[in-house]
Amino acid sequence: MPDATPTNGTPRIGFYVCHCGTNIAGTVDVKAVADYVATLNGVVVSREYKYMCSDPGQELIQQDIREQKLNRIVVASCSPLLHEHTFRHATEQGGLNPFFFQMVNIRENVSWVHTDQAAATQKAKDLTRAAIRRVFSHKALEPKRVPINAAVLVVGGGIAGIHAALTLANAGKHVYLVEREPTIGGHMAMFDKTFPTLDCAACILTPKMSAVKSHPNITLWTYSEVAGVDGYVGNYKVKVKRKPRYIKEDLCVGCMECVTACIYKDARFPDEFNVGLSKRKPVYIPFPQATPQVVLFDPETCLQLKKGKCKQTCIEACDRECIDFTQTEEFKDIEVGTIILATGFQPFDPAKTPYYGYGRYPNVYTALEVERLVNASGPTGGEVVLRDGSHPKAVGIIHCVGSRDEKTNRWCSRVCCMYSLKLAHLVKEHTGAEVYNFYIDMRTPGKGYEEFYDKLLKEGVHFIRGRVAEVTDWAMTPQEEGKLVVRVEDTLIGSVRRVPLDMVILAQGLEPRADAQDVRRMFNISCATEGFFLERHPKLAPVNTFTDGVFIAGACQGPRDIPDTVAQAGAAAAEALALIDAGHMELEPNTAYIREEDCSGCKSCVPLCPYKAISFLEDKKKAWINEALCKGCGTCVAACPSGSIVQNLFEDEQIFNEIDGLLSELAQV
């Protein structure tokens, strides 16, 4: 029998089983459950109702608490992850401490996953009986209130991070925007025109970039990375590593005299911003509108930094004395209340699809490379040319490279059809070549997208529906000599075709970044199976994570286009603002505490806590848990060899009662 010593009198339990329309009632015989529970020890009220989470449903609970003098509530309905707080609130509204409530999941765990009605009903009864037994030993608890520091950390300075930072800064909050690259702008800065309006990416992005730079509420740290995160919602302590540019950032005006004067007369090293299509010197600025407008030195290629001996013509040329080769990395400690991760994506590496010939045939390009080619400030001044400088007469764009593919990535990368159409348009415009798009499905769901596709159809671009099997230079006919041949099944005409082309563009998909796992561990969030950051709920909480205070926005959560990215960034900023303006957050009171009179001072628990919440008090010779640091995992509770640690909400007695309730005979309680 459960030890019936609740803290507020003999248990008088109100039980409610929800039909949830037919979601539950269609499989579980809810009336039978209600009737059964009415017979259990301690149950005063046992009702069934169509929608417990609705206002009338919640009213029912409150009314019964008052009229029937209930002191425990059990609701059998959906998952506690969904509605536990709803019913706790209703319990509280009824005048009872909200933690005298226990929820039974008979939807996600029963009615939605079982087909045998008898078995499902039996399971619902067992789970309910367990909850009834458990709730006997529930105690009144007060949630922990933590204050929220108004400063925000935004990690990642692409369009998502920029938009989130500006939104928050405009709301008067202080933002630290940390970006790994030497400039903000992200992938969007590399694009030429954006679909479907063909806006110039730089034109719409650069005003935002400079707004970030000049905003009094934003501390912009580029060429920096987050090195460590400690703390919890409202009170995060973050360590940021600032990598050395070897430039005094506040003195440099971006005149680039040092670049001109560099001992390397010619640029020799692959230019990252132009995806290796052009070269740069060891001292460089990523692109003309880079923000901040400050050069940097590459320690791998600069002679002074690598070998320690150079004429240092750059220093001579700099009249503001900005260059400082003695710089080292610097660590900054900041305190913020909320964090927004906007770390973006990485493009699929077509080396993983060798049958498309990237790296083997010089004129197979990735989409990102072609973005740089068509860009007027790119490596070729906007000329779409082959490696030998000539203009292509026939260009093919292969869709779904590294997407919708069991061999590489299963997902659809969402933006590639649209950017492939855009590139088709731009290439045709720049070169007049015949353009072929090899697609599986044409995915154009956004506003104006279908109309854009329509326009392309009228421009004379050729569309061939089929997944390309391979790109080869092996000619079978004289017309194919010296060309790249795409072999594809044209499914609409039902035959295999060989299409000779001068240039092949691979529409590479979007992937999670290679270090996504390391990053997410640092911030204590999860990744989904594909490796993108995991949202709390795919529909109702797409920018929240399971960690309070940490939000995600943009492509790091999944492939998306610029409009959706900006929308998400705004959403994440709003979530952060909601917390900040509330001023505090209530944390689940499921922390552990040590019963001092029971503790023998054996110290077995002290090394167990990763948050260092447990310490040994030398004066009392007992262990002690700092409630503010305890996260409520319960590991120490299970480990204490004398049973002297208790976890609120998950006490041994409560769990033993739950186990016993699950297994006890139907007839007796």
From the list 55-63, 289-297, 508-516, 527-535, the region that binds other proteins by CB under 8 A is: 527-535
From the list 115-123, 189-197, 203-211, 496-504, the region that binds other proteins by CB under 8 A is: 115-123
Rounded Cα gap, residues 464 and 461, in angstroms: 10
Nearer to other proteins by Cβ, of 308 and 641: the residue is 641
Please check whether residue 470 is in contact with residue 462, taking contact to mean a CB–CB distance below 8 angstroms: no
Residues 528-547 that bind other proteins (CB under 8 A): 528-529, 534, 546-547
Cis? peptide before 196, omega within 30° of 0:
yes
Please report the DSSP string for 573-635 in residue order: HHHHHHHHHH-EEEEP---EEE-TTT-----SSGGG-TT--EEEETTTTEEEE-TTT-----H
123 forms part of the interface with other proteins (CB under 8 A): yes
Nearest to 354 by CA among 497, 505, 467, 472: 472
Residue 424, Cβ density class (10 Å: 0-12 exposed, 13-18 middle, ≥19 buried): buried
Which structure tokens are listed for 630?
Answer: 């305890």
DSSP letter at 541 equals: B
655 forms part of the interface with other proteins (CB under 8 A): yes
User: Binder to other proteins among 1, 38, 628, 659 (CB under 8 A)?
Assistant: 659
Nearer to other proteins by Cβ, of 483 and 622: the residue is 622
Name the minimum Å distance from CB 615 to other proteins: 8
From the list 32-40, 326-334, 394-402, 658-666, the region that binds other proteins by CB under 8 A is: 658-666
Residues 22-81 that bind other proteins (CB under 8 A): 79-81
Nearer to other proteins by Cβ, of 108 and 429: the residue is 108
413 forms part of the interface with other proteins (CB under 8 A): no
Q: How many CA atoms lie within 13 A of 295 on its CB side?
A: 25
585 forms part of the interface with other proteins (CB under 8 A): no
Hey, CA dihedral for 183, 185, 187, 190, is it positive or negative? negative
351 forms part of the interface with other proteins (CB under 8 A): no
Nearer to other proteins by Cβ, of 395 and 585: the residue is 585
Show Cβ contacts of residue 55 under 8 Å, excluding neighbours closer than 6 positions.
Answer: none
Please check whether residue 555 is in contact with residue 569, taking contact to mean a CB–CB distance below 8 angstroms: no
Q: What is the enclosing helix (H) or strand (E) of 135?
A: helix 117-136
Nearer to other proteins by Cβ, of 245 and 622: the residue is 622
Which structure tokens are listed for 386?
Answer: 């082959």
Rounded Cα gap, residues 271 and 266, in angstroms: 13
643 forms part of the interface with other proteins (CB under 8 A): yes
Residues 130-169 that bind other proteins (CB under 8 A): 130
From the list 49-57, 124-132, 376-384, 394-402, the region that binds other proteins by CB under 8 A is: 124-132
Please check whether residue 73 is in contact with residue 100, taking contact to mean a CB–CB distance below 8 angstroms: yes
Nearer to other proteins by Cβ, of 28 and 553: the residue is 28
Please check whether residue 658 is in contact with residue 131, taking contact to mean a CB–CB distance below 8 angstroms: yes
128 forms part of the interface with other proteins (CB under 8 A): no
Nearer to other proteins by Cβ, of 326 and 668: the residue is 668
From the list 298-306, 348-356, 451-459, 631-639, the region that binds other proteins by CB under 8 A is: 631-639
647 forms part of the interface with other proteins (CB under 8 A): yes
667 forms part of the interface with other proteins (CB under 8 A): yes
631 forms part of the interface with other proteins (CB under 8 A): yes
Other beta carbons within 10 angstroms of residue 244's beta carbon come to: 17
The structure tokens 């409610």 sit at 16
Rounded Cα gap, residues 14 and 57, in angstroms: 13
Instruction: Order across the sheet with 503-508: list the strands.
Output: 364-366, 503-508, 394-401, 434-439, 462-465
Nearer to other proteins by Cβ, of 450 and 596: the residue is 596
From the list 136-144, 355-363, 457-465, 638-646, the region that binds other proteins by CB under 8 A is: 638-646
Other beta carbons within 10 angstroms of residue 412's beta carbon come to: 17
User: Binder to other proteins among 601, 620, 626, 628 (CB under 8 A)?
Assistant: 601
Nearer to other proteins by Cβ, of 104 and 153: the residue is 104
593 forms part of the interface with other proteins (CB under 8 A): no
Rounded Cα gap, residues 112 and 22, in angstroms: 10
Rounded Cα gap, residues 124 and 517, in angstroms: 38
User: Binder to other proteins among 116, 230, 316, 330 (CB under 8 A)?
Assistant: 116
Name the minimum Å distance from CB 474 to other proteins: 42
4 forms part of the interface with other proteins (CB under 8 A): no
Nearer to other proteins by Cβ, of 27 and 224: the residue is 27
Name the minimum Å distance from CB 32 to other proteins: 14
Question: What angle is formed at CA 581 by the lines to CA 166 and CA 147, rounded to 5 degrees?
Answer: 115
549 forms part of the interface with other proteins (CB under 8 A): no
DSSP letter at 111 equals: I
User: Binder to other proteins among 355, 604, 627, 669 (CB under 8 A)?
Assistant: 604
CA dihedral 422, 452, 198, 180 (to 10 degrees): -60
- At position 200, the amino acid (one-letter code) is C
The structure tokens 């001109």 sit at 260
3-state DSSP of 251-280: CCCCCCHHHHHCCCCCCCEECCCCCCCCEE
User: Binder to other proteins among 92, 126, 405, 490 (CB under 8 A)?
Assistant: 126
Nearer to other proteins by Cβ, of 561 and 651: the residue is 651
Nearer to other proteins by Cβ, of 39 and 260: the residue is 39
107 forms part of the interface with other proteins (CB under 8 A): yes
User: Binder to other proteins among 603, 620, 626, 628 (CB under 8 A)?
Assistant: 603
663 forms part of the interface with other proteins (CB under 8 A): yes
Please check whether residue 413 is in contact with residue 403, taking contact to mean a CB–CB distance below 8 angstroms: yes
Rounded Cα gap, residues 209 and 497, in angstroms: 46
From the list 312-320, 336-344, 506-514, 655-663, the region that binds other proteins by CB under 8 A is: 655-663
Residues in contact with other proteins, counted by CB under 8 A, come to a total of 73
User: Binder to other proteins among 268, 320, 521, 584 (CB under 8 A)?
Assistant: 521
From the list 60-68, 326-334, 414-422, 660-668, the region that binds other proteins by CB under 8 A is: 660-668
Nearer to other proteins by Cβ, of 301 and 664: the residue is 664
Name the minimum Å distance from CB 314 to other proteins: 44
Which structure tokens are listed for 637?
Answer: 């509770």
Alpha helices, DSSP H only, in 181-335? 201-214, 257-261, 303-307, 313-317
Rounded Cα gap, residues 114 and 635, in angstroms: 33
Region class of 596: left (phi > 0), else alpha (psi between -120 and 50), else beta: alpha
Name the minimum Å distance from CB 608 to other proteins: 6
From the list 441-449, 476-484, 496-504, 614-622, the region that binds other proteins by CB under 8 A is: 614-622
Nearer to other proteins by Cβ, of 481 and 596: the residue is 596
User: Binder to other proteins among 316, 607, 626, 628 (CB under 8 A)?
Assistant: 607
